[in-house]
Amino acid sequence: MKSTIYLALFYMACMICCDQKSFGQQDNRVVSTGAGFLLLSPDARNAGVAEAGTGLPADANAMFMNAAKLMFGEKTGISVSYTPWMKELTKDSHLGYLTAYRHLNEREAIGISLKYLDLGVISFRNEAGELLEQYKASEFSIDAAYSRKFGENFGMALTARYFQSDIGSGTYNNLLLKRTDAFAADISLYSEKASQNGKYGKRFSWGLALSNIGTKLKYNEVKTTFMPMNLRLGAGYSLYATPENRLTLLLDVNKLMAPTPPKYKVDPDGNMTNQIEKGKDPDRGVASALFTSLFDAPGGFKEELQEFTIAGGLEFSYDDQFFFRTGYFYENPEKGNRQHFAAGIGLNANPIRVDVSYIFPSSDRYVLRNTMRFTLSYTPLLSKPIKK
């Protein structure tokens, strides 16, 4: 029998079903959404630079970060990634990712991807610890992207996504769970420009992506929760004597575009009321949440800044065959406290490239400890960028 994911993992999976008000009552400042699976970085290259991969030269895995990059890479490519997920809690949880793309002409490209998270067997127990049921839990998403180039240095893309979550079925501790699904879309922009100055060349790129804009998730018949709508802005700067030997510096900034839990008033007896003292009512529509999430924090501008995560990294390429990567990811302690270092290596033996990454947290509360990712990419030898 497979190993069991115990109550701790089940609780993390079900947090997304909780009433938003409960977070405010506990003075918890974490922005809550469903489908956090969609934000999991699936490939080893991006993980090796601590998820600061927007400014990396494009490859098949660009679909996850910014699909507009697809027109700036090779003509075609395919990649498969594997991660043993939360291995310190269970041996049965795995994250897989398969993606491929192809240029249609000088201006257009299409891409597809499949991401799958196997959570193994979850044990549902009552307060006495008695086993009620075991359930095979999983989540997956299917993406299709269209990328178009406008001019030499600028591109845009639209990605359509179907997501399904199956983390349990039935009523446990008054919490009704059921399978849920949703549709979402990404909009992304990307620009890249290279120049030569004497002996050395340089490349500067930047990208912006607004992802997971879609329908709300319904894990039970009463409550709904937002998709993890996310705003990502990133840039990369490369310096090289030859394009094959380059050092790329990277910086990415992210923000969840979902409601911040408000602060509720307290009555004279110390009990929380339904009246909001500061902040905005989290029970609002998708469009409203998307546009108001930049200024709805009870703590004002200072708290809004705390909701941004920052990732910085670098990649060194030697002879376009050996790659060395590192980076650091930071999230404010009041907003989730995800903080980790990352390191990665890559070996390119055309047409095959192998990438491996490893993350080790700098925060004791971070559950993704000592996580390794593996990616195998294939780019046909004749797959060269189309020149105008």
Q: Residue 4: pLDDT above 50?
A: no
Average pLDDT over residues 225-240: 94
Contact 187, 210 (CB under 8 A): yes
Q: What is the pLDDT of residue 370?
A: 67
Of residues 5 and 68, which shows the higher confidence score? 68
Structure tokens at 143: 């993406």
Question: To the nearest 10°, the Cα dihedral for 33, 35, 39, 44?
Answer: 150
Q: Residue 17: pLDDT above 60?
A: no
The span from the CA of 274 to the CA of 260, in Å, is 16
Average pLDDT over residues 19-35: 60
The 10 Å Cβ neighbour count of residue 267 is 9
Question: CB-hemisphere CA count at 13 Å for 348?
Answer: 15
Q: Mean pLDDT across the chain, nearest whole number? A: 85
Q: What is the pLDDT of residue 346?
A: 97
Please name the helix (run of DSSP H) or strand (run of DSSP E) that holds residue 237, with its range, or none.
strand 230-242
- Residue among 150, 252, 151, 166 nearest 208 (CA): 252
CA 166-290-159 angle, 5° bins: 60
Q: Report the predicted TM-score, pTM, of the whole model to 2 decimal places.
A: 0.86
Residue 152 backbone class (left: φ over 0; alpha: ψ -120 to 50; beta: rest): alpha
Q: What is the pLDDT of residue 198?
A: 73
Q: What is the pLDDT of residue 167?
A: 77
142-194: pLDDT as tens digits: 999 999 999 899 999 999 999 998 876 666 556 667 788 899 999 999 999 99
Domains of the chain: 4-378 (2.40.160.40)
Q: Residue 64: pLDDT above 80?
A: yes
